[in-house]
Amino acid sequence: MALDIKAGRPWPALLDLPWSTPLEEWPESILAALPRGISRHVVRFVRIEGRIIAIKEIKADIARREYEMLRALRRLDIPCVEAVGVVAGRTADDGTALDACLLTRHLQFSLPYRAMLSQSLRPDTADRLIDALAVLLVRLHLVGFWWGDVSLSNTLFKRNAGEFAAYLVDAETGELRPQLSDGQREHDLDIARVNIAGEIMDLQAGGFIAAEVDPLSVSDLILSRYHELWKALTNVERYEIDERWKIDEHIRHLNDLGFDVGELDITTDFGGTHLSIQPKIVDAGHHARRLLRLTGLDVEDNQARRLLNDLDAYRASQDRQNDDEDLVAHEWLARIYEPITRRVPPAMRAKLEPAEVFHEILEHRWYMAEKAKHDIPIEDAAADYVEKVLPAKPDESAVVGVDTQELPVRAK
């Protein structure tokens, strides 16, 4: 067997895997027990040198194309899984040719939607997943990526301060172009609407979603949420000449949505009585970049927004609004964030990411204060949360919910 291994970095341990065996027959002893989403291809998780790699068996030309596409999307700062490599030239011991394998790095603390919805979560979880998927789809379309197979199944989700952040998993059908037409964008939305409705119906058939939930209404949400966000990010806004303050308000609104503005295209009409502005959206992650600059913490954008709010509250409580922001952020990190997140026992650190734990402790503190009718020190809230709330949560960096391969699936 003459293997052809293409990888982003040298990884000799890849040679130790049983490439001459079909992926579905790999021994359990080398597999990592992680929940698998639905895929038209065989997918397995393997632990290599302390990292977990997802391996998908697929035709060699498609594997190489998807590998390059995922790398291109990562360079554009799009939330997607990290492509590790492609293994081609596989043959079985009897000489039978085997499909190639695409290797991607497992996204820690991420959840396939089927595993997530199989748990006892909030009734609006499906709506929040659609919100996250809409944001991801807008970001993809802004950089000229046509997905071609938009679905919950082709997405992974991470908790994001009470909401979710969506990551693209499958770029097999995608195309990257300089710009998408309105028709191409609407085609992706039509695909999303049909796929999501089918996925919700599948879960209803398995008894994992209440029968009264309307799959079509849930899938229609992707249209309204997408169009609302796309309009906010791309429409030309028109103001009276004496309403220039609304430009700052518009930029703040875009920042609140999590997007940074690189420049503005401002024009006036012939009479000089109106201004038209169109922002150039640089990237999502406004809050995450600010927190990273101040503290070095690399978290999701909603988590960053929540942490920044707590940092601002700390700054006000210490009467240090006029002090250097970097110095106060370093003090908050050392005195508040790190001591609180370190209160989680090592045995429970696989349950949630530290930033999500901190967010939940802030929520828990608010409920405790409301019940007690007075402020609660964050240390007391953390101790109560770790004792009463955290133990009941599943380990989201490992096994979550049920084996999603056992849930019903609608044929594509």
Q: What CATH number does residue 144 fall under?
A: 1.10.510.10
In a domain? residue 408 = no
Residue 97 DSSP SS3: strand
Consecutive 10-residue runs of the chain (412 residues): their mean pLDDT? 78 87 91 69 86 92 95 92 93 91 89 70 71 90 94 87 84 94 96 92 81 86 89 76 68 70 62 62 69 85 85 85 86 93 90 90 91 90 93 64 41 39
As a residue count, the chain comes to 412
- 164 lies in the same domain as 150: yes
Q: In the prediction, which pLDDT does 101 show? A: 95
In a domain? residue 397 = no
Domain count, the chain: 4
> What CA–CA distance (Å, rounded) separates 193 from 191?
6
Give Cβ neighbours of residue 202 (< 8 Å, ≥ 6 apart): 407, 408, 409, 410
Q: In the prediction, which pLDDT does 253 show? A: 74
- 48 lies in the same domain as 140: no
- 269 lies in the same domain as 295: no
- 91 lies in the same domain as 14: yes
> What CA–CA distance (Å, rounded) separates 306 from 304?
5
Residues 195 and 153: beta-carbon distance below 8 Å: yes
- 222 lies in the same domain as 117: yes
- Per residue in 106-152, pLDDT (tens digit) is 888 887 887 776 654 455 777 788 888 998 999 999 999 999 999 99
At which of 106, 128, 152 does a domain end? 106
- 16 lies in the same domain as 93: yes
- 358 lies in the same domain as 318: yes
Quick one: which of 119, 171, 109, 140 has its CA closest to 303? Answer: 109
Q: In the prediction, which pLDDT does 404 show? A: 41
- Per residue in 275-324, pLDDT (tens digit) is 666 566 555 677 788 888 888 888 888 888 889 888 888 888 888 878 88
- 116 lies in the same domain as 216: yes
- 361 lies in the same domain as 304: yes
- 166 lies in the same domain as 98: no
> What CA–CA distance (Å, rounded) separates 144 from 162?
29
- 278 lies in the same domain as 325: no
In a domain? residue 412 = no
Extended beta strands in 256-319, E state: 259-268, 274-284
Residue 328's domain comprises 287-392
In a domain? residue 314 = yes
Residue 401 DSSP SS3: coil
C-alpha 104: how far from its chain's center?
15
Quick one: which of 76, 104, 98 has its CA closest to 172? Answer: 104
Angle, CA of 256, 258 and 262, to the nearest 5°: 100
Q: For residue 83, give the CATH number of its domain.
A: 3.30.200.120
